[in-house]
């Protein structure tokens, strides 16, 4: 049908205009308008200017009937497609020139969007709305003076007392991030007011506390690239832009072509906008550290990498991050759009993309999307650009490896996971020999540790024999030990062990499909070597030893076999291991059997937590116990700790969510039942009562949540206390012996402490004051206290 063909054409606004007259359905017109507006600025056979002109005419004619719809679509585009900001501001400018009232209505609409976003804590939307408003000054829709008034009000918000630092920071960040668009115009029209604004910002920045900076850095040193705090970096970039007389060359400015038309338009003044006051429930964006791994020396001939303090760098990065944000759910589209970056001929695109992706992967405290999302997007990029992307990625990996000794622990883990995953998609091919320098380093040095941990992850993704084949001979020490059970009751010397005959009997019984009761029967006569202990805390370590090691050995063929075994004899676990000490004994025996198979231990701990064979606190105490000292700097131990904490967190969050739902339902039911009392009879009431939770139910939910939160608090207290103890011990001993405290072990351990704060900051935050009062007091070592203080400053 001819209508459909017109619909699909990108250009030919004139044709659309003529054909449109014949169409009577409002919905079809609305859809067409929406489509035209959404796609303006995309690839077209006509110039952008003529498309904008045509579209403005079309829309002007439709303002009568479709005013609201057009307002909504334009505002939506402004917020959802910030990279096309100047295209839409030009469009609004042209419309304003044709229809002053519409211009005013649009401004009001956009102002409302801005204010609503602030109240709803939609910070990116607010910033894009602000940027749009600022750019409208360039299009003669708004007066510079009224924009400056708004910016001044925002500075006032930044200088308020008794509000979170992160709130104040956001307001300044929002102002600064509009200046690339409107700085020049303000400089030309209102230089002194602009200067005044900048001075206020500078004063604000000088006063800021930036304790969080160190917690959020990827690398602890600033060589070769400073890891700048985000606001400091943007300020430097704006200052440089100012030095260049606000001459900004990156942002396309279609309104320049329409200057003569737009100059004729009357400007509007912004209504007075006061930022909504702070509310305790408001959550502000967290600060971040700007990730830099490349500079112009890293990129071969071709377009030059913009300098760290050039505003271009900021604009390019922001744009690339927003592409990832928009397309992260479709990795192929994401890769395609990244490679199709509109200004790619002006920049070393692959380097910018790789830097931005690693910036997200290594973002502190945690990446905004799944780590595997970034890994798979990088693979797609390599597929789409096989002649350049793999080389850049290899270069990036090389750089990351070279600087790994100052990388924070959380990022180290992510780098290990990513690299193993990436290798597994490319037949594990890598030029290991290039890393030969690490062969002379201490085992605990990050470089050899990285290779060792990568190999273990690679082994999990493939199999032992394969891993022995991928490393060259000098690197053979990094080949992991093959994960196999070590069942002492079937080895030489078993005869001298106290549990052997029971163990052998148990094997036979279980193979004959005995019941849990029968298992207890087999274990019945094993002596308890702890009989002096109090009866309540009595457990029989030997029984646990024989049972756990034998059962898990019988299930050693696969995870499923082990899970089935645990499930079948769950009752025996519960009988034998009621107390925390007994549960730690279970874990110890699991470890004794499976020492070389880290992955198996992780899934077993996970399973035992899920089936409540062990409590979270038991796992935590076991990890910090003397027996695990040798394992302390191995990644898998921390995998276990974090999965334990996450389970606890999930449990609390779930109960909390259920409670809130129930409370809401109850409140709704109460308010509606008081209304409908005089209305229809029993039928309606009956169904309401069936759905509504009783007060008693809500109370019980509250109790359950309280218990869970107490457990959660207890878990964090245990973990932090143990950290403080071992770190203090180390610091004191080094001080006494006159040794340098800053050993590999120390760096790993303090890094792991920091990791607990950062990875679980949302939950830990609830207990900050308890932690401050009970554990992180002024008398503990300043190095340990600093970690806590940095954490606190992240959301202050």
Partner 1 sequence: MSTFSSTSVELSSYRDQHFKGTRTEQDKLLRLSTTLYVGNLSFYTTEEQIYELFSRCGDIRRVIMGLDKYKKTPCGFCFVEYYNRSDAENCLRYINGTRLDDRIVRTDWDAGFIEGRQYGRGKTGGQVRDEYRTDFDSGRGGYGKIVQQKLGGSDGPFGR
Please give the residue ranges that form the binding site for partner 1 (CB under 8 A): 34, 38, 73, 76-77, 80, 326-327, 329-331, 333, 370-373, 375-376, 379, 417, 421, 424-425, 427, 457, 460-463, 465-466, 558-560, 563, 599-600, 603
C-alpha 440/C-alpha 627 separation (Å) is 29
Compute how many other C-beta atoms are within 10 angstroms of the C-beta atom of residue 714: 16
Q: Write down the least CB distance from residue 359 to partner 1, Å.
A: 19
Q: Which residue, 79 or 158, is less far from partner 1 as judged by CB?
A: 79
Q: Write down the least CB distance from residue 597 to partner 1, Å.
A: 9
Q: Write down the least CB distance from residue 579 to partner 1, Å.
A: 28
CB neighbour list of residue 611: distance below 8 Å, 6 or more residues apart: 566, 567, 570, 573
Compute how many other C-beta atoms are within 10 angstroms of the C-beta atom of residue 681: 7
Q: What is the DSSP string of 479-500?
A: SPPP-----GGGSTTGGGSTTH
C-alpha 189/C-alpha 480 separation (Å) is 68
Question: For residue 598, which phi and psi values (nearest 5 degrees)?
Answer: -60, -40
Q: Write down the least CB distance from residue 458 to partner 1, Å.
A: 10
Q: Which residue, 596 or 599, is less far from partner 1 as judged by CB?
A: 599
CB neighbour list of residue 653: distance below 8 Å, 6 or more residues apart: none
Whether the Cβ atoms of residue 47 and residue 13 lie closer than 8 Å to each other:
no
Q: Which residue, 467 or 507, is less far from partner 1 as judged by CB?
A: 467
Q: Which residue, 80 or 684, is less far from partner 1 as judged by CB?
A: 80
Compute how many other C-beta atoms are within 10 angstroms of the C-beta atom of residue 715: 22
Q: Which residue, 273 or 454, is less far from partner 1 as judged by CB?
A: 454
Name the DSSP class of 407: B
CB neighbour list of residue 722: distance below 8 Å, 6 or more residues apart: 620, 621, 624
What CA–CA distances, in Å, run from 94 to 44, 55, 100, 268, 576? 20, 10, 10, 14, 79
Q: Which residue, 379 or 719, is less far from partner 1 as judged by CB?
A: 379
Question: For residue 294, which phi and psi values (nearest 5 degrees)?
Answer: -120, 150
Whether the Cβ atoms of residue 136 and residue 124 lie closer than 8 Å to each other:
no
Q: Write down the least CB distance from residue 461 to partner 1, Å.
A: 5
What CA–CA distances, in Å, run from 528 to 502, 544, 549? 14, 10, 17
Q: Which residue, 76 or 581, is less far from partner 1 as judged by CB?
A: 76
Residue recorded with tokens 């004619």: 61
Q: Which residue, 272 or 425, is less far from partner 1 as judged by CB?
A: 425
Q: Write down the least CB distance from residue 559 to partner 1, Å.
A: 5
Cα of 138 vs its chain's centroid, Å:
36
Whether the Cβ atoms of residue 705 and residue 759 lie closer than 8 Å to each other:
no
What CA–CA distances, in Å, run from 206 to 12, 143, 231, 349? 54, 30, 11, 35
Q: Write down the least CB distance from residue 425 to partner 1, Å.
A: 5
Whether the Cβ atoms of residue 552 and residue 562 lie closer than 8 Å to each other:
yes
Whether the Cβ atoms of residue 577 and residue 585 lie closer than 8 Å to each other:
yes
Q: Which residue, 193 or 339, is less far from partner 1 as judged by CB?
A: 339
Whether the Cβ atoms of residue 760 and residue 719 lie closer than 8 Å to each other:
no
Q: Write down the least CB distance from residue 60 to partner 1, Å.
A: 21
Q: Write down the least CB distance from residue 33 to partner 1, Å.
A: 12
C-alpha 275/C-alpha 517 separation (Å) is 68
CB neighbour list of residue 600: distance below 8 Å, 6 or more residues apart: 483, 556, 559, 562, 594
| Length of the chain, in residues | 796
Q: Which residue, 101 or 427, is less far from partner 1 as judged by CB?
A: 427
Whether the Cβ atoms of residue 199 and residue 149 lie closer than 8 Å to each other:
no
Name the DSSP class of 612: T
Q: Which residue, 468 or 673, is less far from partner 1 as judged by CB?
A: 468
Q: Which residue, 435 or 636, is less far from partner 1 as judged by CB?
A: 636
For 609, the token pair is: 């937590």
Q: Which residue, 177 or 376, is less far from partner 1 as judged by CB?
A: 376
Q: Which residue, 612 or 676, is less far from partner 1 as judged by CB?
A: 612
Residue recorded with tokens 């992180």: 776
State the alpha helices, DSSP H only, in 676-694.
Answer: 682-691
Q: Which residue, 327 or 746, is less far from partner 1 as judged by CB?
A: 327
Number of helices and strands in the chain (H, E):
36, 0
Whether the Cβ atoms of residue 391 and residue 428 lie closer than 8 Å to each other:
no
Q: Which residue, 422 or 692, is less far from partner 1 as judged by CB?
A: 422
Whether the Cβ atoms of residue 486 and residue 592 lie closer than 8 Å to each other:
yes
Whether the Cβ atoms of residue 130 and residue 174 lie closer than 8 Å to each other:
yes
Q: Write down the least CB distance from residue 726 to partner 1, Å.
A: 29
Q: Which residue, 256 or 370, is less far from partner 1 as judged by CB?
A: 370
Whether the Cβ atoms of residue 446 and residue 404 lie closer than 8 Å to each other:
yes
Question: Hey, CA dihedral for 767, 773, 774, 777, is it positive or negative?
Answer: positive
Q: Which residue, 424 or 789, is less far from partner 1 as judged by CB?
A: 424
For 588, the token pair is: 């110890």
């Amino acid at each position: 049908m001819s209508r459909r063909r017109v619909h699909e054409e990108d250009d030919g606004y004139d044709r659309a205009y003529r054909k449109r007259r014949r169409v009577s359905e409002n919905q079809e017109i609305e859809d067409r308008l929406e489509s035209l507006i959404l796609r303006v600025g995309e690839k077209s056979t006509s110039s952008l200017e003529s498309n904008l002109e045509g579209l403005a005419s079309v829309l002007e004619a439709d303002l009568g009937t479709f005013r609201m719809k057009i307002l909504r679509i334009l505002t939506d585009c402004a917020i959802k497609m910030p990279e096309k900001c100047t295209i839409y501001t030009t469009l609004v400018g042209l419309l304003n020139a044709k229809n002053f009232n519409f211009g005013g209505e649009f401004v009001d609409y956009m102002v409302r969007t801005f204010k609503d976003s602030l109240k709803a804590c939609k910070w990116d939307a607010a910033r894009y709305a602000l940027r749009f408003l600022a750019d409208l000054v360039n299009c003669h829709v708004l007066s510079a003076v009224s924009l400056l008034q708004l910016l001044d009000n925002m500075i006032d918000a930044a200088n308020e007392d008794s509000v979170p630092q992160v709130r104040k920071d956001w307001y300044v960040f929002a102002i600064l991030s509009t200046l690339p668009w409107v700085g020049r115009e303000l400089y030309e029209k209102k230089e002194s007011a602009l200067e005044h604004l900048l001075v206020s910002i500078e004063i604000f920045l000088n006063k800021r506390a930036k304790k969080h900076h160190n917690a959020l850095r990827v690398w602890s040193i600033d060589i070769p690239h400073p890891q700048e705090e985000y606001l400091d970096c943007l300020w430097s970039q704006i200052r440089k832009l100012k030095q260049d007389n606000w001459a900004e060359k990156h942002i396309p400015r279609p309104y320049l072509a329409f200057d003569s038309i737009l100059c004729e338009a009357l400007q509007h003044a912004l209504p007075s906008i006061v930022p909504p006051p702070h509310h305790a429930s408001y959550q502000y964006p967290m600060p971040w550290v700007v990730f830099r791994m490349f500079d112009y020396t890293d990129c071969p001939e071709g377009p030059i990498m913009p300098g760290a303090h050039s505003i271009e760098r900021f604009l390019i990065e922001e744009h690339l991050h927003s592409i990832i944000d928009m397309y992260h759910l479709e990795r192929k589209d994401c890769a395609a759009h990244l490679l199709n970056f509109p200004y790619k001929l002006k920049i070393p695109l692959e380097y910018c993309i790789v830097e931005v992706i690693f910036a997200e992967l290594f973002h502190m405290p945690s990446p905004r999307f799944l780590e595997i999302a970034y890994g798979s997007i990088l693979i797609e990029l390599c597929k789409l650009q096989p002649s350049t992307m793999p080389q850049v990625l290899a270069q990036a990996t090389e750089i990351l490896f070279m600087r790994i000794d100052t990388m924070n622990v959380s990022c180290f883990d992510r780098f290990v996971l990513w690299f193993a995953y990436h290798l597994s998609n490319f037949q594990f091919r890598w030029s290991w020999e290039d890393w030969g320098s690490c062969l002379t380093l201490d085992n605990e040095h990050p470089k050899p540790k990285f290779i060792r941990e990568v190999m273990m992850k690679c082994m999990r993704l493939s199999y032992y024999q394969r891993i022995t084949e991928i490393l060259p001979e000098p690197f053979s020490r990094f080949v992991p030990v093959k994960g196999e059970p070590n069942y002492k009751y079937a080895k030489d010397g078993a005869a001298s062990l106290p549990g052997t005959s029971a163990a052998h009997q148990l094997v036979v019984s279980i193979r004959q499909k005995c019941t849990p009761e029968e298992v207890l029967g087999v274990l019945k006569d094993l002596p308890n070597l702890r009989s002096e202990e109090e009866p309540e805390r009595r457990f029989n370590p030997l029984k646990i030893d024989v049972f756990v090691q034998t059962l898990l050995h019988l299930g050693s063929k696969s995870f499923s076999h082990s899970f089935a075994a645990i499930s079948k004899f769950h009752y025996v676990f519960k009988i034998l291991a009621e107390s925390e000490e007994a549960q730690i004994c279970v874990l110890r025996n699991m470890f004794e059997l499976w020492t070389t198979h880290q992955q198996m231990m992780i899934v077993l701990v996970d399973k035992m937590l899920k089936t409540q064979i062990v409590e979270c606190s038991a796992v935590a105490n076991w990890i910090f116990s003397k027996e695990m000292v040798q394992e302390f700097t191995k990644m898998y131990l921390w995998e276990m700790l974090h999965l334990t904490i996450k389970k606890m967190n999930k449990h609390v969050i779930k109960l909390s969510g259920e409670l809130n739902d129930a409370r809401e339902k109850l409140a709704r039911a109460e308010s509606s039942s008081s209304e409908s009392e005089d209305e229809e009879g029993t039928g309606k009431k009956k169904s309401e009562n069936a759905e509504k939770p009783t007060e008693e139910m809500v109370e019980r939910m509250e109790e359950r949540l309280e218990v869970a939160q107490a457990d959660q608090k207890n878990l964090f207290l245990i973990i932090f206390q143990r950290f403080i103890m071992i770190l203090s011990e180390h610091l004191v001993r080094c001080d006494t012996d006159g040794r340098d405290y800053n050993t590999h072990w120390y760096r790993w351990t303090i890094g792991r402490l920091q990791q607990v704060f950062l990875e679980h900051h949302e939950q830990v935050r609830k207990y900050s004051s308890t932690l401050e009062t009970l554990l992180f007091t002024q008398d503990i070592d300043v190095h340990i206290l600093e970690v806590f203080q940095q954490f606190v400053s992240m959301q202050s």
